[in-house]
Amino acid sequence: MAAWLPRRVGAALLTVLAVVTLVFFAIHLAPGTPFLPSGDRPLDPAVEAGLRARFGLDRPLGIQYARYLAALARGDLGESFAQQRPVGAALAQALPNTLVLAGSALAVDLVLGTLLGVLMAARAGRRPDRWLGAATLVVYALPTFWLGLVLLLAFGQWLHWLPVGGVTDPVIHDALGFGGRFVDRVRHLVLPALSLGLVGAAGTARFQRAAMLEALGQGFVRTARAGGLSERQVLGHALRNALLPSITLLGLALPFLLTGSVVVESVFSWPGMGKLAADAIQARDYPVVLAATLVAAVLVVCGSLLADLLYAAADPRIRRESA
Amino acid sequence: MTAASWLALVVVAACALAAARLLGAARAEALRRFLEPRGVRAGVAALLFFVLLALAAPLVSAYGPAAQLDITGLQSAPPSWRHLMGTDLLSRDVWARITFGARVSLGIGVLATVVSVGLGALVGGAAGYFRGPTDAVLMRLVDVGLAVPRIFLVLAVLALGHPLGAASLALLIGCTGWFATSRLVRSEVLSLRERVFVEGARALGLRPWRILARHVLPGTGAVVIVAAALGVANAMLLEAGLSFLGVGVQPPVPSWGNMIADARDQLATAPWASLFPGLAITAVVVALHAVADGVRSALDPHAPLAS
Amino acid sequence: MPTLARRLRTARAAAVLAVASLLGSCEPKGTCRGEYCGTLVFAAIGQPVSLLPPATDQALDRDIFDQIFLRLADIGPDLNTVGDSGFVPRLADRWGWTDSLTLAFHIDGRARWQDGVPVTARDVAFSFAAFTDSALDSPYRDELKRIASVTAADSSTAVFRFRARYPEMFYDATYYLRVVPEHVLRLEPFARWRTAPFGRSPIGDGPYRLVNWTPGQSLELVADSAFFLGRPHIERLIWRFDADLSVAVTQVVAGEADAIEVLGSPANVARARATPHLTVYPYAGSVYTMVGFNLREPGGVPHPILADPIVRQALVLATDRERMARSVFGGMAKVPPGPIPEEWASLWSGVAPVPPYDTVEAARLLASRYWLPGPGGVRQRAGRRLALTLLVPSTSPPRRQYAQLIQEELRAVGVEIRIELVDPPTLDQRLRAGRYDAAIESWGNDPAPSSGLPGAWKTGGEANFGRYSNRWFDRAVDSAVNARSPGAAADAWRTALDTLAEDAPAIVLCAPDNVAAIDARVAGVRLRPDEYWADVWTWRIPPDRLIERDRLGH
């Protein structure tokens, strides 16, 4: 593993660099002025030239790229055109929201999915398994934004059980105690996390079912049963083995969650990175689009690196081989 | 819906069922085994139904997809015998738009998948067969492609200029979706190339590309079919999401995705306009997943069901 | 199994604890009672960019800085813009004409900036310099060009000197100019005002001040209890930013927001009306929507199809504008006799009537210009198809609806329309560059025709994207703008509109009403068509109708 780790990390860094380059050149080839002229008047050419100079858009492309790389190294992601402030600030505010949402969705995905998968495997072939199998098949196929709209309508408007969009209640949040603030955040998080997580949970459930069935069919299970262990204990052992492949699911889950977040955040007015990117593309806000894509790619690369590390750490077979 | 269109609908449904049954009684052993589970049969029948529905759209619907029947009197009418799925905000028959929209959504899904599977097989095959520097370069490219979430890639390109027509959109979706397929094909090719028949072909002096194309790639058939089924599903879902954000298929061309987007504001007052397209997408995606599962378990009963 | 039983018990206890905490710490306890409480939540679409008045023209920014900055005098409820009548004192408590070209304002001695510094005439002169600065290029630079200078005669007298006499001198002096603090902004060069930090933390002299702004989410204003024109009754104003209209309407219907300025569609109005705690307020609209034609291609070449006025007239006749307006807006929009909003009520009468819906005449006109039926049902002339691209912003549901309606109607007379949904920046860019055939444009207007019609239709007007040019129209506009009496001005405007009706440089689709929805507990609601929330500081929530969030104070 010691030899494999630096190579893996190096590959990850190269990937990130390649992503930055590609997106940089793609965005800078876009036509259209990023500056929304005020109302019905065209922006005075002198003023627009001044703004272009200020944002560095008047230099040749190669020099812009070099300057961008240098700025990235400093941690400066440029300045947003639409929001008149550094991109870093916009991202610093948006990223935690997306991480919270993605993390909660991942939790829903894994916990619910594993529970359902174990349940289906334990009752394999019988009615609960068939019903749940059909249900997960359908839920896995739903478009996430459609699910979000339906949930918002049902729980937000018809039943008024949960709030309609946003991260916190702008009116009363500051006046609540610590417990109240936590509850407020959770209430706003429920619907977006469910919209993102349920679809993944259905997929995870199906995967876990198969993995469990495979684990249950293996030799050590027969040994355990013969040794007099209860069914529940047997399931527990099988589960530990079946969980291993689902670590790889972690690596796949992150791109799915980030893709889904672009539409789900729009549906729920969740001020995260997905919404930031969607708004920025509409407004030709180059630096923000670039930064959001870069951060998304970095997250995905880190996520899969982490998943690989976890898998290697968890599976003694892998470790022994590399030693 | 007129009597004629009801009749046409019944005929289409019957044809789909009959075709599925015919396939089930086919002579090819693999095909029969594949169609044995009930879920797969249902999935194939459903897919055939939607494809036939799309092809027979003018026969099955009494109105055109863009015909505005009565813009002050028939807006957002609920489902009835005359309008099987109601009408939308512009007094267009939703059933007609579903059937013609099937052409667009399925068409985009299939075209995008042909591109993505084709590219993926090509790249994955080349990387797996030739190995060495080719493999390294191609797989780095694939890493980059897999690193950026797909929708960001597509949005970034869409922001470059004019809205795209359906065909160009399909091409774009296809060009952003081949990365995972190439990985899968590469693994298959890596194991296939060690087989005896490949050594034999090499000994016979056949050129590498010919060996790859004629002998190795066909062996990846199972993987490719599964990837294709899932690819169509993902492409359709992506198109729906893009249309929802306003950058997908442009009006008045109906696609299931932009029907949901158009009817989004009427979700509370006229849910049928967005309910039925959503159900249609879900039905097709479910059928595709069922087929993919069927292919996988038919050809490798020990492989876990991972999607 | 003992371990299992214990585990179950702990799980149950945890669940009970969770539920208890959920019910327990939910509601905040507020203590405000009486006349000066209240929290009003606005559901807004989009996001503000800057709260510095000369640096922005977005409607949402203006809604907010309306509460923070004052004008010298405000337009009256009758929206009269001619002469001095009806204007209400704000920053200036009195004014007078020292001669026919000189207007002097006396600044109210009680007016103060939020940091305690008194408002002086120097602030007024400074603000004028900012609004007319070429580097800053504020949206109202053109409207202020007939004012020669603004000087501070002393610390409380601001003197305006005009170049010539005309009916709207007072309006021009007061409507466009919001006074900004010189002592804070004088060190910031005008060219950098668009990105100045003041835009995100402004210091104003109005009834409210900004206390909190979470980008992408919400913004909070708090009442200035020492506001010299009277303490606002509603203590807090909160704007919630939503991505689109349906979420905003859902928030208002669910009671999470109290007010929305434009419900937008008959379905949303029906939803609001069906909600018992909401009151629906229709008011005159300030917007008109039209299909603008591009008469010249880039490079100045006349457009091969649309340069012909007969063809344009045919296109107007081929669209059933009344029916479309009913379809899109229910009864909430009218078809105006020209590109004018409901706000300009005086111009609706006496103008040539709205062109009828007559497809037979439209077909005849097209045929008379040699556009003859061709393959695919699309007319042709010398090998060129009668096909046009229609640009529509993707963010406007009514305009998207109109686009598809128009497409169908024009197809019936053999015109092919290709709809291009673009986002607002792209639409703006294509309009300015002249790279379009037709576009569905919605124009919001200030109360005076002189601030809208010349810019949109005069030769060389800054909003005249279609490059329409007619010297009779130009002459009529000039005489309207320089007329000596309101009556003469109105006559001249009507002549101008008649010319436009004949030339048909656009299909004028509708002038919609605005319908707002506001929570029923708010009393004293008045909405101004040109600035919806201008009078919020006079609204109140009676103490017996306070709800939980109203009682939270600062």
Kindly report, residue by residue over A181-203, the tens digit of the pLDDT.
888 889 999 999 999 999 989 98
The confidence score (pLDDT) of residue A81 equals: 59
CA–CA gap between residue C79 and residue C451 (Å, rounded): 14
Name residue C367's beta-bridge partners. Answer: none
Asked if residue B269 lies in contact with residue C271, where contact means CB atoms within 8 angstroms, the answer is yes
Is residue C332 scored above 80 in pLDDT? yes
Is residue B239 scored above 80 in pLDDT? yes
With bands split at pLDDT 50, 70 and 90, how would you rate the model's confidence at A40?
Answer: very low
B264 touches chain C (CB under 8 A): yes
Is residue C26 scored above 60 in pLDDT? no
Residue of A nearest to C41 (CA): A171
Contact C421 B66 (CB under 8 A): no
The confidence score (pLDDT) of residue A169 equals: 80
Q: Which residues of B touch C394 (CB under 8 A)?
A: 246-247
Q: For all residues of chain A together, what is the average pLDDT?
A: 78
pLDDT tens-digit series, residues C490-499? 899 999 999 9
Amino acid at B285: V
Minimal Cβ distance to B163: which of C404, C405, C421: C421
A255 touches chain B (CB under 8 A): yes
Q: Tokens 């996520």 correspond to what residue?
A: A303
Contact C429 A40 (CB under 8 A): no
The residues in A 128-147 lying below 8 A from B, measured between CB atoms, are 137-138, 140-146
* pTM for this entry: 0.80
Start-to-end Cα distance in chain A: 7
Tokens of C121: 């005439």
Distances (CA, A) of C121 to C74, C153, C176, C209: 17, 8, 16, 22
Give CA C469 to chain center in angstroms. Answer: 26
The confidence score (pLDDT) of residue A219 equals: 73
Could you tell me which chains touch chain A, where touching means 3 or more CB pairs under 8 A? B, C
CA–CA gap between residue A159 and residue A144 (Å, rounded): 21
Is residue C116 scored above 70 in pLDDT? yes
Could you tell me which chains touch chain B, where touching means 3 or more CB pairs under 8 A? A, C
Contact C552 A172 (CB under 8 A): yes
How far is C428 from chain A, CA to nearest CA, in Å? 8
The confidence score (pLDDT) of residue C22 equals: 56
Contact A282 C423 (CB under 8 A): yes
Q: Which residues of C touch B248 (CB under 8 A)?
A: none
Residue of C nearest to A160 (CA): C254
Contact C246 B267 (CB under 8 A): yes
CA–CA gap between residue C371 and residue C410 (Å, rounded): 14
Burial A139-175 (b: 16+ CB within 10 A, else e): bbbbbbbbbbbbbbbebbbeeeebbbbbbbbbbbbeb
Distances (CA, A) of A170 to A260, C27, C239, C353: 25, 14, 9, 49
pLDDT > 70: percent of chain B: 95
How far is C167 from chain B, CA to nearest CA, in Å? 43
Number of Cβ atoms within 10 Å of the Cβ of B206:
15
- Report the range of poorest mean pLDDT among A276-280, C284-288, C449-453: A276-280
Is residue C380 scored above 90 in pLDDT? yes
Q: For all residues of chain C together, what is the average pLDDT?
A: 88
The confidence score (pLDDT) of residue B248 equals: 81
Tokens of A258: 């980030």
Q: What residues contact C11, with CB distance under 8 A and at least 6 apart?
A: none
Tell me the average pLDDT across B202-212: 79
Q: For all residues of chain B together, what is the average pLDDT?
A: 85
The confidence score (pLDDT) of residue B163 equals: 61
CA dihedral A279, A282, A288, A292 (to 10 degrees): 70
Contact C327 B71 (CB under 8 A): yes
Interface-testing mutation among C392, C394, C440, with chain B (most B C-beta atoms within 10 A)? C394
Is residue A78 scored above 60 in pLDDT? yes
Minimal Cβ distance to C455: which of A31, A40, A183: A40
Minimal Cβ distance to C397: which of B66, B72, B265: B265
A226 vs A199 pLDDT, higher one:
A199
The confidence score (pLDDT) of residue B129 equals: 83
Closest CA to C347 of C534, C13, C100, C82: C82
Tell me the average pLDDT across C3-25: 65
Residue of B nearest to C329 (CA): B72
CA–CA gap between residue B208 and residue B203 (Å, rounded): 11
How far is C526 from chain A, CA to nearest CA, in Å? 24
Q: Hey, CA dihedral for C202, C205, C211, C214, is it positive or negative?
A: negative
Contact A263 B289 (CB under 8 A): no
The confidence score (pLDDT) of residue C115 equals: 92
The confidence score (pLDDT) of residue A35 equals: 46
Closest CA to B8 of B58, B65, B50, B82: B58
Task: Rank A46-50, A205-209, B47-51, C421-425 by mean pLDDT and report only the highest.
Answer: B47-51
Tell me the average pLDDT across C148-163: 94
Contact A84 C49 (CB under 8 A): yes
Residue of B nearest to A217 (CA): B302
pLDDT > 70: percent of chain C: 95
How far is A82 from chain C, CA to nearest CA, in Å? 7
Q: Which residues of A touch B278 (CB under 8 A)?
A: 142-143, 146
Cβ-based burial of C485 (10 A; exposed 0-12, middle 13-18, buried ≥19): exposed
Minimal Cβ distance to C56: which of A38, A44, A266: A38
A211 touches chain B (CB under 8 A): yes
**3-state secondary structure (DSSP) of residue C292:** strand
Minimal Cβ distance to A171: which of C24, C135, C238: C238
CA–CA gap between residue A28 and residue A63 (Å, rounded): 12
With bands split at pLDDT 50, 70 and 90, how would you rate the model's confidence at C237?
Answer: very high
CB pairs under 8 A between A and B: 136
ipTM: 0.82
Closest CA to A264 of A135, A152, A119, A124: A152
CB pairs under 8 A between A and C: 155
Contact C200 A84 (CB under 8 A): yes
Minimal Cβ distance to A183: which of C25, C254, C455: C25
pLDDT > 90: percent of chain A: 10
The confidence score (pLDDT) of residue B293 equals: 83
Tell me the average pLDDT across C51-67: 88
With bands split at pLDDT 50, 70 and 90, how would you rate the model's confidence at B304?
Answer: very low
Establish whether the linkage from the previous residue to C298 is cis, with ω within 30° of 0: no
